[in-house]
Amino acid sequence: MFFRIASAIALMASVPAFAFQNDLISDGEAGTARQLMEMAAESDTGYEIVRSLTTEVGPRLGGSQQEARARDWAVQMFTELGFSNVRIESFEMPFWNRGPISAAIVAPFPQPMLASALGGSAATPQGGLNAEIVFFDSYTALRDFDGSLEGRIAFVNDRMIRAQTGAGYGPANDKRRYAWLEAEARGASGVMIRSVGTDSHRFPHTGMISTPRTDTVAGGAHSQIAVDYLEQEHPDFTERRVWSSIPAVALSAPDADQIERIHQSGETVRVSLSVVAGWRGNRQSGNVVAEIPGREQPEEIVLIGAHLDSWDEATGAVDDGAGVGIVTAAAHMIDRLPRAPRRTIRVVLFGAEEVGLLGAFAYARENAEEVGNIVMASESDFGAGRVWSLTSGTSEDGTQFLDQAQQIIAPLGIIRGSRASRGGGPDIIPLAAQDVPVFRLSQDGTDYFDLHHTPDDTFDKIDPEALAQNVAAWAAITWLIAETDVEFRTLPEDNE
């Protein structure tokens, strides 16, 4: 590990600040927050953390040996940076991994394709598949299809919409999550999807398949055919995960275009597919935790996180090396202040996020008694684009506090977003479900899904200035929340 930590910055005695219309944040507190922002802007600590993780560990699939190396790396990093209470909180998890894949159009125009098995995919039978595809314009068209897919492969072609907020991801992702089920329920031999992504490069985007959520299974997200199939084949599906029995793969956008063009010409497309992938029993994963103990209320915890694991086909720079760098560097900025904040800051690097938020659920389960002490929680897991909005879901006092805190980070180009958001990031979901207040520093994700879950998610894609802007915002907001005695927990009654 080779952190080039910037030489300690002499803290200015007091930063001149304009008069601040503010009753919840003092001028002194605002001044310290601004100091942190200045320190962050001059520091490359966050960038160096991403460099180190992506270079010295590389890909780190949840449950893999590489993810174990990432935990060791994280313990060493936190220790070198001077954090307290550095520890690994281990948990057990089902392990899926992939082997080689090959996919090709065999008729009418033979040519290879670039594909990636979706996480949770089954392998193809010995010798692979050779089957006609049935073309569906969208997941909805597949869901509404009332014919048989026996002996054929379903191809689902939804395109994802590019948006700063990543708003196109959810809708486009239905096909990744559930197309396997709709296809399998109709007897298909396999399922292929156009990658969930916004690029037009020859990279497939991987990602997990899912089991239907019990709260949506009857709500139109799935066909009656799929619901009946689940109830017949997996009567206990509401209680445990169900995995596909058929191979489920994503094609790169240009390969999906190719199938689309041939289909549109009126030809039937026949493909071959060989997938080596599957579940390999249970493995160890873990969350890596480090703290800055609070000077007055150490039992009150401001939890900031990112996930340590990545998909296996890239070094996970934007997903989520960037988040690791951002929250760690932000906490490190705070740790270099002359005194600790009133509350404890806890950095959690979650394991096995990509493969089903397994670290997040393990964390909430194993730390259940302490969840009530978490003042606020947030995760950075949306790449390295600049922060443009502060959203939150807290008490009314907390909302007012964050209104005022936003004024401090406004010079970074950050507006105040929703005051009634339950979104704190993927790994915060289990905590938010237990009423832990959340905030989020929303990033510009316009380009995020060009790289997301592809082999192309590598360190060269990180803009160091945008990363430093993130660190500045995180340092200021995290410190302000840790320093104040405002109670965030009572949820607002004026939810929008």
CA distances from 422 to 162, 419, 425 (A): 23, 9, 9
* Structure token digits, residue 145: 């299809």
- State residue 205 phi and psi, 5-degree precision: -105, 120
User: Does residue number 456 form part of the binding site for a second copy (CB under 8 A)?
Assistant: yes
Q: How far is the CB of 454 from a second copy (least distance, A)?
A: 8
Element (H, E) at 31: helix 27-42
CA distance from start to end of the chain: 46
Rank residues 263 and 295 by Cβ distance to a second copy and give the closer one.
Answer: 263
User: Of 395 and 458, which has the nearer Cβ to a second copy?
Assistant: 458
Select the residue interacting with a second copy from 258, 284, 297, 407 (CB under 8 A): 258
> Rounded to whole angstroms, how far apart are CA atoms 304 and 377?
6
DSSP states along 160-172: PPP-TT-TTHHHH
Residues 10, 56: Cα–Cα separation, whole Å:
31
Is 331:292 a contact under the CB 8 Å cutoff? yes
3-state secondary structure of 47: helix
The answer to whether 376 and 394 are in contact (CB under 8 A) is: yes
Could you say which residues in the range 203-232 bind a second copy, by CB under 8 A?
203
User: Could you say which DSSP state residue 446 is in?
Assistant: T
**Smallest gap, in angstroms, from Cβ of residue 105 to a second copy?**
8
Number of residues in contact with a second copy, rule: CB under 8 A? 36
Query: Is residue 279 part of the contact set for a second copy (CB under 8 A)?
Result: no
Name the 3-class secondary structure at 55.
Answer: helix
C-alpha to C-alpha distance for 246 and 190, rounded to whole angstroms: 5
Q: Strand 153-156 to strand 129-136: parallel, antiparallel, or no bridges (unpaired)?
A: parallel
Q: Which is nearer to a second copy, 16 or 100 (CB)?
A: 100
- Identify whether the C-beta of residue 446 lies closer than 8 Å to the C-beta of residue 164: yes
Tell me how far, at minimum, the Cβ of 389 lies from a second copy, in Å. 29
Of positions 261, 415, 433, 495, contacts a second copy by CB under 8 A: 261
The distance of closest approach from Cβ of residue 91 to a second copy in the complex, given in angstroms and rounded to an integer, is 24
Q: Give the interface segment with a second copy, choosing from 27-35, 249-257, 411-419, 428-436 (CB under 8 A).
A: 249-257
Smallest separation (angstroms) from a second copy to the CB of 249: 17
Computed on alpha carbons and rounded to an integer, the radius of gyration of the chain in Å comes to: 24
From the CB of 460, what's the least distance to a second copy, in Å? 5
Q: Could you tell me which residues are beta bridge partners of residue 390?
A: 416, 441
Residue 108 preceded by cis peptide, ω within 30? yes
**Near a second copy by CB under 8 A: residue from 38, 257, 403, 487:** 257
Residue 201 DSSP one-character state? S
> Which residue's CB is nearer to a second copy, number 252 or number 378?
252
Q: Which is nearer to a second copy, 144 or 267 (CB)?
A: 267
Give min distance, CB of 254 to a second copy, in A: 4
75-83, 135-143, 194-202, 358-366 -> range binding a second copy (CB under 8 A): 194-202
On whether the CB atoms of residues 226 and 105 are closer than 8 A, the answer is: no
Return the range that interacts with a second copy (CB under 8 A); candidates 11-19, 79-87, 273-281, 459-467. Answer: 459-467
Q: What residues numbered 105-144 form the site for a second copy, per CB under 8 A?
A: 105, 108-112, 114
Q: Does 254 bind a second copy (CB under 8 A)?
A: yes
Site string for a second copy, 282-321 (x = CB under 8 A): --------------------------------xx------
Q: How far apart are CB 136 and a second copy at their closest, in Å?
A: 20
Of 105 and 468, the one with the shorter C-beta distance to a second copy is 105
What is the DSSP-derived secondary structure letter of residue 28?
A: H
* Closest-CA residue to 486 (of 396, 352, 425): 396
Q: Tell me which stretch binds a second copy (CB under 8 A): 90-98, 103-111, 163-171, 180-188.
A: 103-111
- By CB under 8 A, the residues from 43 to 72 that bind a second copy are 51, 55-59, 66
- Judged by CB under 8 A, the residue of 85, 224, 265, 434 near a second copy is 265
Q: 89 or 456, CB closer to a second copy?
A: 456
CA 273, CA 105: separation in Å to the nearest integer? Answer: 9
Q: Identify which of residues 193 and 256 has a Cβ nearer to a second copy in the complex.
A: 256
* Closest distance of CB 112 from a second copy, Å: 7
CA 125 vs. chain centroid, Å, equals 32
**Cβ neighbours for 204, distance < 8 A, ≥ 6 positions apart:** 114, 115, 116, 195, 249, 250, 251, 252, 255, 454
| Residues making contact with a second copy (CB under 8 A) | 2, 51, 55-59, 66, 100, 105, 108-112, 114, 200-203, 253-254, 257-258, 261-262, 265, 314-315, 454-456, 458-461
